Structure 1
């Protein structure tokens, strides 16, 4: 029987923390741990990515789609540097990830060819916990501390293990440490509820509001029933952040959609007209689309008190779990719906939905990208997951893809890094191999790392009970990466090279469909969603279709209020904005 090494000990700790798989890129300095994972027989499983950045995105995607702690592996030097992007994604979107980095500093002067100061390299992104393993006896506790810290702070942590330590034989007297688990890794470790006085103040503020708006972020997951009940009790309108888009049924008549530059006119109008704002688990960075300062009284619910008031002034802070806090608020708020305000909101939603349908139906050359997401909307599998990349596809996803209740959807919300969708989709599919997964990305993201990670898909898909992983590539050949009417200047060669994305999928043994006619978009979706293997749907779309961001917080609400003062204030704000724009034009 082979000697038990520290690398085997690490695998035991991963298993104790119920880690199903670790994502990484093999290298000399991490080879002993990769070997131990191979000996573990898939418990946990090692998933080699084509690049360390995508390995980190997979670990973060695993954390986002499952609520568990993601794990990624790399070696020192350039390999460790490549992890940073995915780890910053985890940090900024508050997801628990543990990075285990191997280091080999043997050499005549104690240095190594790829040596980089790892403590300083990871000191910001993993600022909650970066530690070196020195002796075998400390490794179990070191890993437990890394996992506990990641779970408690909802952030990435890092453990550096020298190769010599990974290879070291574990002393016979080293105790077999029992599994030390949190109740649900990745979730708050204890129930957190605001003080009664704060809840009473929040209820009083809501009761005094005439035009209530609720903005929901990713922290609202699992609270849809409470949010709808509270909105109906107050006659409130609801909007979401990009990360909060999957929280609520988007078919609700008072659901205005996503707020922000990528969002809807109805959401901007909601913010422009409300006098009371409830923020639920959101750290939305698009503050230009929030109500004007002084316009509203604001309540913010967040599990992390450090987030309260960082984006927008708050009158009543409520530090607590969203579900329990909303339940406590419901017990304090009586039925007093403002039907007039609710009617205004619903009319705004109706107008926006018609405008969105008209935009999707508008002619384009050759295909309108909005049509592609519009046609998908009625076909999204009810038990599926959706991963979304950065670029113009984010605009079309936010406005035109109506998510059925229960569908999980994730994106790189705060960091906004291109190239995340396909690694996310791989992580989601490995976590739930019996459910369909969709990845939505542009040709820029596909060329960045999607073409390579399609090899990972081709390697694993035969293990999946449901083989459907559909990758939509919006091929607009736009060098700017955004589309929206910004056609590149110069010769055709100045544009992004045209790649046969569907053909590349077929070359790898997957299914590929290329569509360049609008009437074929619907049938193309039907084909890839019924395929017996992963598919790439390449839609050749028009880069000149405008993005049309909504007016931030100055949406035209003239004449919608019976309250003459409110209508007058809105008109005054719009007049000020119009004068400002005209002055800029004169300059």
Structure 2
């Protein structure tokens, strides 16, 4: 007898699902057991924690273009999924959560592990969250969860009481009143706006003398179209963090990241432009966009709900970014005035010299910028990069030059700690033949990373290419929060809050049968990267870095400067090192490559 649990896997396989990330428990036993009832066509990937499973499902969607699926038991298991699911929701990734629940007869009885899951998931999965109460309902619940996740690029959830999972499956509901007969198949949608809207957008862009393009995650597949439009308009291209791989950083008019973790050329681009073209981005920080009224605006996004949200746009185009840009291109006029482009390219060239000078500054013992600067030219052509939240994201955003063919992501909208290693594991599940590099701080590594290494140790031998490097910045400090306390609050670093207990990351990797490398001298950084990227065994690369090197924003306001000084005067325990490192950074910003 085929059970509901069997049917759930069969239906997901029919939708093309090949892999489910999860953790077992009695609330979901009927589905877990179905994996052992023959070849389901779906691989079960056991994470060490449900939060890791949800992060992996999100990363699966990011790196495959498919729907990511995660699974958890009732009560605590379901609750643990939430952070990773919010990561998917806020980065607009299609993820389906299959969650167990106590038996139907117990609901409402204050039963063990009974949680109101419909209410719990109503925000993160607000487009679709439903609990099955009869086997005939399961088919359309799975179908709608998958379809809505794909169509809305969001999180959906199906809740399955544990007694229902063991009941006889109903594959075809009866043909009678009150039943639903759903089907499987891709839902098409218009990908190009009407010609009249394209003409209006072209008129705005053609009138611009200083055009700036902001590319986000929605433009990752539009590389050629972005370059063609930028060349036609003589524009510069800034990138939101999730759009870092949208265009190669070697292009002289690509200004790099935007925002607090961004570059000075991107700051200048936005403050000096007269026209803004935003493509596939929900970049949230208005202070880094043009001043309202100073620039005319055109926005392209696949989701009409995200239009005219961040900056008042004159023309909004709902459509696929690549297809829309390609349709727009014949309507754009060639800009023959090269003065704007020359200014952008000069700013970019100066900025790369600043970054190199800053990366080579002495620190105690390693300058974290050098760790990323030395990695940049050594990245394999087809590498997949994952990055965590924290100060490591600053160096990732600024110091790494991505080339065409590389893939990269992090937790953008949620900016959650703990995502880099599960992202990397999912990347290897999806692309076992590509090298992967995870970049994270010691705070994120202690939070979730050390647990995820156990999964890595048990799975890497099945990959066709074993290259996976997990680089940990070991500075003993929750570094980004320390800098935020100083610059935004005017408070000295609170050691009780910010200091991390020591942990032997490289040695721990060796205990698990992985390779561990610990680097604490600047002359070792380059060769360590080369060895790690050539290793036939996954590597934990522990870089012992200086927490006092500041991730300076592209523009320091008077208020931030005042807070910074006040924090240091309040007895910051690292004040001496912070002041020394800040002076070096500021000098290199003014006189890159010159001796102090």
Contact 1:17 1:180 in 2 (8 A): no
Task: Tell me how far 1:485 sits from its aligned partner.
Answer: 10
Give the direction of change, closer, same or farther, for the CA distance of 1:259–1:182 in structure 2 (3 Å limit).
farther
SS at match of 2:10: helix
Task: Tell me how far 1:495 sits from its aligned partner.
Answer: 2.1
Contact 1:236 1:337 in 2 (8 A): no
Q: Distance in 1 between matches of 2:407 and 2:564?
A: 43
* Aligned Cα root-mean-square deviation (Å): 2.5
Give the direction of change, closer, same or farther, for the CA distance of 1:493–1:259 in structure 2 (3 Å limit).
closer
2:244 counterpart of 1:245: yes
Q: Distance in 2 between matches of 1:459 and 1:179?
A: 39
Structure 1 counterpart of 2:526: 522
Structure 1 counterpart of 2:341: 342
2:53 counterpart of 1:55: yes
Moved more, 493-502 or 371-380: 493-502
SS at match of 1:98: strand
Q: Distance in 2 between matches of 1:417 and 1:38?
A: 34
Task: Tell me how far 1:493 sits from its aligned partner.
Answer: 11
Q: Which runs of 5+ in 2 are unaligned?
A: 175-179, 487-491, 567-596
Contact 2:18 2:41 in 1 (8 A): yes
SS at match of 2:540: strand
Q: Distance in 2 between matches of 1:582 and 1:495?
A: 24
Task: Tell me how far 1:38 sits from its aligned partner.
Answer: 3.1
Contact 2:299 2:315 in 1 (8 A): yes
Task: Tell me how far 1:82 sits from its aligned partner.
Answer: 1.1
Task: Tell me how far 1:270 sits from its aligned partner.
Answer: 0.5
Instruction: Write the mapping of 1:227-306 to structure 2, written as runs, cut at 5 A.
Output: 227-306=226-305
Give the direction of change, closer, same or farther, for the CA distance of 1:508–1:333 in structure 2 (3 Å limit).
same
SS at match of 1:159: strand
Task: Tell me how far 1:69 sits from its aligned partner.
Answer: 0.2
Structure 2 counterpart of 1:394: 393
Residues 275-301 of structure 1 show CA distances to partners (whole Å, capped at 9, x for unaligned) of 001000000112210011111000000
Task: Tell me how far 1:190 sits from its aligned partner.
Answer: 1.9
Of 500, 505, 509 in structure 1, the residue corresponding to residue 504 of structure 2 is 500
Q: Distance in 2 between matches of 1:500 and 1:579?
A: 39
Q: Which runs of 5+ in 1 are unaligned?
A: 553-576
SS at match of 1:232: helix
Q: Distance in 2 between matches of 1:328 and 1:173?
A: 44
Contact 1:384 1:408 in 2 (8 A): yes
Instruction: Write the mapping of 1:482-497 to structure 2, written as runs, cut at 5 A.
Output: 482=481, 495-497=499-501
Contact 2:127 2:148 in 1 (8 A): yes
Task: Tell me how far 1:479 sits from its aligned partner.
Answer: 3.7
Of 6, 10, 13 in structure 1, the residue corresponding to residue 11 of structure 2 is 13
SS at match of 1:378: helix
Q: Distance in 2 between matches of 1:516 and 1:425?
A: 25
Q: Distance in 2 between matches of 1:583 and 1:516?
A: 32
SS at match of 2:232: helix
Task: Tell me how far 1:169 sits from its aligned partner.
Answer: 1.9
Contact 1:95 1:156 in 2 (8 A): yes
Q: Distance in 1 between matches of 2:168 and 2:562?
A: 75
Residues 79-122 of structure 1 show CA distances to partners (whole Å, capped at 9, x for unaligned) of 11111111111111101000011111455974421111111100
Contact 1:11 1:40 in 2 (8 A): no
Instruction: Write the mapping of 1:445-456 to structure 2, written as runs, cut at 5 A.
Output: 445-456=444-455
Q: Distance in 1 between matches of 2:465 and 2:504?
A: 26
Contact 1:182 1:189 in 2 (8 A): no
Q: Distance in 2 between matches of 1:306 and 1:485?
A: 31
2:510 counterpart of 1:511: no
Contact 1:17 1:179 in 2 (8 A): no
> How many residues matched?
555
Task: Tell me how far 1:173 sits from its aligned partner.
Answer: 7.2
Contact 1:441 1:474 in 2 (8 A): yes
Q: Distance in 2 between matches of 1:541 and 1:374?
A: 14
2:31 counterpart of 1:33: yes
Task: Tell me how far 1:138 sits from its aligned partner.
Answer: 1.7
Task: Tell me how far 1:489 sits from its aligned partner.
Answer: 5.5
Structure 1 counterpart of 2:537: 533
Q: Distance in 2 between matches of 1:383 and 1:96?
A: 24
Contact 1:232 1:337 in 2 (8 A): no
Structure 2 counterpart of 1:117: 116
2:93 counterpart of 1:89: no
Give the direction of change, closer, same or farther, for the CA distance of 1:207–1:493 in structure 2 (3 Å limit).
closer
Contact 2:479 2:498 in 1 (8 A): no
Q: Distance in 1 between matches of 2:63 and 2:101?
A: 30
Structure 2 counterpart of 1:543: 547
Q: Distance in 2 between matches of 1:157 and 1:321?
A: 22
Residues 289-321 of structure 1 show CA distances to partners (whole Å, capped at 9, x for unaligned) of 001111100000001111001111111111111
Structure 2 counterpart of 1:132: 131
Structure 2 counterpart of 1:328: 327
Give the direction of change, closer, same or farther, for the CA distance of 1:479–1:224 in structure 2 (3 Å limit).
closer
Instruction: Write the mapping of 1:310-329 to structure 2, written as runs, cut at 5 A.
Output: 310-329=309-328
Task: Tell me how far 1:492 sits from its aligned partner.
Answer: 9.7
* TM-score, normalised relative to structure 1: 0.90
SS at match of 2:401: coil
